[in-house]
Amino acid sequence: MAGHKTLHVGLGPIGREIIAAATKSGRCEPVAAVDIDPDMTGRTLADIMQIDGVPDVVVSADLAEAAAIAVEQGATAALVATGSHVEQVAPQFETLMAAGLNCVSTCEEMIFPWLRADAAADELDAAARAAGVSLLGAGVNPGFVLDLLPFVTTRVCQTVSAIYATRIVNGSVRRQQLQAKIGSGLSEDEFRARAANDAIGHVGLGESAALLADSLGWSWDNIEQSIEPVIADVDVKTEYFDVKRGQVRGQAQTLKLVAPQGVIEMELIMALDEPSMDAVRVEGEPPVELVVEGGIHGDRATAGTVINFVTPCIKAAPGLRTVTDVPLS
Amino acid sequence: MAGHKTLHVGLGPIGREIIAAATKSGRCEPVAAVDIDPDMTGRTLADIMQIDGVPDVVVSADLAEAAAIAVEQGATAALVATGSHVEQVAPQFETLMAAGLNCVSTCEEMIFPWLRADAAADELDAAARAAGVSLLGAGVNPGFVLDLLPFVTTRVCQTVSAIYATRIVNGSVRRQQLQAKIGSGLSEDEFRARAANDAIGHVGLGESAALLADSLGWSWDNIEQSIEPVIADVDVKTEYFDVKRGQVRGQAQTLKLVAPQGVIEMELIMALDEPSMDAVRVEGEPPVELVVEGGIHGDRATAGTVINFVTPCIKAAPGLRTVTDVPLS
């Protein structure tokens, strides 16, 4: 299987993991790259990554220029790992799609962009159709554990009345950025103050629930969400944090979506020294209870989904798509 | 969500379960039906089924006639639960597709018909394209536990080197037909004699492996299969069978597919008093281990998949499709 020629937009930890995955798997062949970081631009991916097989592609500082180079090199898709919010990344997609590139993005809100950015989503859909390309948000969470996997699970059910999905991530084995993001070492008050300002908390839980409900044909009334700190009972030490008893060692987010057809409840716990696991439970006919032992690794799996959704994105009918409505193979 | 108007072909236990599921869920609205059994033809589905909401549709004895009635009533799909082998059911699909109906079938070999009936599969593909409709095999096994579910699981993996999939079905809680099919009460010699004549054994394990490998882009060299009896250590009694110690209480099938890209191993155990469970383990980056606690019910789930794959089948590009290459929602 020859790899798709790809443009890589954003060379942060996830963007670099995607390039490593693309190279290792042979599913994609990076032919162009772009980032805003002056420490990266002008250097080659091979130099930045220091991984066997990563090609000598020079990192551009300009998106339109990188898109033009990519298209000239025969690229069919851009893999975009830049921002979490639709409005942040929409102009990037517009540029990429206008150049004729399909786009797969790790942008969390793009898993179901109609939830928070309805107008922008409609504009992106129109732009994708006009350009004859597809645009897709992908990842492990959102994008798999709390949405695609529960949805696929319901495919065996004659009827569904409730879906419970849980993801527990052991922050201790993850990178510094994630340990900080979940509030490690904060006091309970600091955590709550940040949470009130949306400065803490995983982006995408609402999108997962909305994608799942929409894929089931459910029309929901409202989505309730909450976030609580997980407090350390004992001191916790990681490579990056030294959390004392009584300080925050992570976050617990919950969600409840109530639709006339049924209920979706989700729980996302990301905390230091909390054993990882993922689970889906469907109440229906038949009921189904599924457990992912040890959970699915975050960054590795996000890069995995991105490279695996390039073919589906290219094959899909033009427009703004979701991971549940593209052909998976 | 208004249901698709459907023609129901085959009113055996699975065909009737599909009608019940269609009615209960509202996903399909039966507008025509056909069977070869003279005890059924001329009667209405409501009379045969005795379930609230099942409509007064008269069961036809002739497939072409039923297809014509269905189309006249606005049906877009036929749900076919007749035979296990492609050659058996291909003429039915030809008739149904010529009438303009998309087809979803429980025919086990149709999960990946190219494995055992390559020429017939190509003819069906051509006929479907000519008629502008899609044709799809669906079910829980084959069709979900050992193929679609493992494939979906690999969507988070950057690389995959091996896939292990297991399905264990407790025959004690299933219908008489399945308990007989797995060899309950036979002597070990009788079991082996029947197995040697292909008169025992689940149809579809090879198709599951082939679909999974093909969906991954793997080109396999060979598929090895074996079947062994499961012998009762103690007497086992069910509603239908009285199995003595030393007699057969079920079957254990194994499969190994070796491809240059990796290995697929499957195990299917169907036996009386054997606790049900399904499991998928992927060796890759990241590895994933998934367990379905208590397993997924067979007949209920097969009917569930059939009604849930009607929309994907209708939406898919015309041709002979698989559950991994249609949009799932």
Q: Is the peptide bond before A229 cis (omega within 30 degrees of 0)?
A: no
Q: Is the peptide bond before A150 cis (omega within 30 degrees of 0)?
A: no
* pLDDT(B258) > 90: yes
For residues B45-77, b (16+ Cβ closer than 10 Å) or e, as one string?
A: bbebbeeeebeebebbeebeebbebbbeeebbb
SS (H, E, C) B239-256: CCCEECCCCEEEEEEEEE
The answer to whether B132 faces chain A, any CB pair under 8 Å, is no
* pLDDT(A2) > 90: no
Note the helical H segments in chain A.
13-25, 45-49, 63-72, 86-98, 118-131, 148-154, 176-181, 188-196, 205-215, 298-308, 310-315
Q: CATH 3.40.50.720 spans which residues of chain A?
A: 4-139+301-321
Mean pLDDT of B239-254: 97
SS (H, E, C) B136-174: EECCCCCCCCCCHHHHHHHCCCCEEEEEEEEEEEEHHHC
- Residue A326's H or E segment, with its range, is none
Q: How confident is the model over A61-110, as pLDDT tens digits?
A: 999 999 999 999 999 999 999 999 999 999 999 999 999 999 999 999 99
Mean pLDDT of B303-323: 97
Mean pLDDT of B115-143: 98
Least confident of A119-123, A128-132, B196-200, B213-217: B196-200
* pLDDT(A301) > 70: yes
**Architecture category of domain A148-296 in CATH:** 2-Layer Sandwich (3.30)
Asked whether A9 and A81 are in contact (CB, 8 A), the reply is yes
Mean pLDDT of chain A: 97
* pLDDT(A318) > 80: yes
What is the spatial distance between Cα B326 and Cα B310, in angstroms, rounded to a whole number?
11
Mean pLDDT of B95-121: 98
pLDDT more than 90, % of chain A: 96
pLDDT recorded at residue B274 = 97
Task: Specify the fold of B148-295.
Answer: Dihydrodipicolinate Reductase; domain 2 (3.30.360)
* pLDDT(B2) > 70: no
The pTM score is 0.97
Give the chain B residue whose CA is nearest to the CA of A211. B329
pLDDT recorded at residue A60 = 98
Residues of B in contact with A152 (CB under 8 A): 148-149, 152, 328
pLDDT recorded at residue B221 = 85
Mutation target vs A (from B14, B16, B136, B156; most A CBs, 10 A cutoff): B156
Residue B13 Cα, gap to closest chain A Cα (Å):
15
Three-state SS at A263: strand
Residue B208 Cα, gap to closest chain A Cα (Å):
15
Pairing between β-strand A28-34 and β-strand A77-80 as defined by DSSP bridges: unpaired
Mean pLDDT of B310-325: 97
| Residues whose CB is less than 8 angstroms from the CB of residue A242 and which lie 6 or more positions away in sequence, other chains included | A185, A235
Nearest to B288 among A21, A292, A309 (CB): A292
What single letter denotes the amino acid at residue B201? G
What is the spatial distance between Cα B104 and Cα B82, in angstroms, rounded to a whole number?
11
Residues of A in contact with B158 (CB under 8 A): 20-21, 24-25, 300, 303-304, 307
* pLDDT(B125) > 90: yes
Q: Is domain A4-139+301-321 given the CATH code 3.40.50.1220 in the classification? A: no
Residue A304 to residue B296, Cβ atoms within 8 A:
no
For the CA atoms of A303, A304, A305, A306, the dihedral, rounded to the nearest 10 degrees, stands at 50
Query: Rounded to whole angstroms, what are the CA distances from A129 to A94, A102, A135, A320?
Result: 12, 11, 10, 8
ipTM above 0.90, yes or no: yes
Least confident of A169-178, B130-139, B143-152: A169-178
pLDDT recorded at residue B90 = 98
Residues of B in contact with A217 (CB under 8 A): 1
Q: CATH 3.40.50.720 spans which residues of chain B?
A: 4-138+301-321
Mean pLDDT of chain B: 97
Query: Rounded to whole angstroms, what are the CA distances from B288 to A293, A297, B238, B295, B323?
Result: 8, 9, 36, 18, 21
The answer to whether B267 faces chain A, any CB pair under 8 Å, is no
Residue A15 Cα, gap to closest chain B Cα (Å):
14
The answer to whether A215 faces chain B, any CB pair under 8 Å, is yes
What is the spatial distance between Cα B67 and Cα A152, in angstroms, rounded to a whole number?
31
Task: Specify the fold of B4-138+301-321.
Answer: Rossmann fold (3.40.50)
* pLDDT(B328) > 80: yes
Pairing between β-strand B4-9 and β-strand B28-34 as defined by DSSP bridges: parallel
- At A221, the pLDDT band (50, 70, 90 cuts) reads confident
DSSP label of B58:
B
Q: Would you say the C-alpha torsion A121, A133, A14, A210 has a positive or negative sign?
A: positive
Mean pLDDT of B157-180: 96
Nearest to B286 among A158, A300, A328 (CB): A300
Q: CATH 3.30.360 spans which residues of chain A?
A: 148-296
pLDDT recorded at residue A22 = 96
Phi-psi region of B204 (alpha: psi -120 to 50; beta: other; left: phi over 0): left
Segment 277-296 of chain B within 8 Å of chain A by CB: 285-286, 288-294, 296
Tokens coding B184: 């309950």
| Residues whose CB is less than 8 angstroms from the CB of residue A53 and which lie 6 or more positions away in sequence, other chains included | A23, A24
Asked whether B31 and B8 are in contact (CB, 8 A), the reply is no
Place of tokens 């617990």: A252
DSSP label of A6:
E
Q: CATH 3.30.360 spans which residues of chain B?
A: 148-295
What is the spatial distance between Cα B178 and Cα B169, in angstroms, rounded to a whole number?
10
What is the spatial distance between Cα B85 and Cα B108, in angstroms, rounded to a whole number?
7
Mean pLDDT of B235-254: 97
Residue B257 pairs with which residues in a beta bridge? B223, B264
| Residues whose CB is less than 8 angstroms from the CB of residue A248 and which lie 6 or more positions away in sequence, other chains included | A183, A184, A185, A186, A187, A188, A190, A191, A229, A230, A231, A232
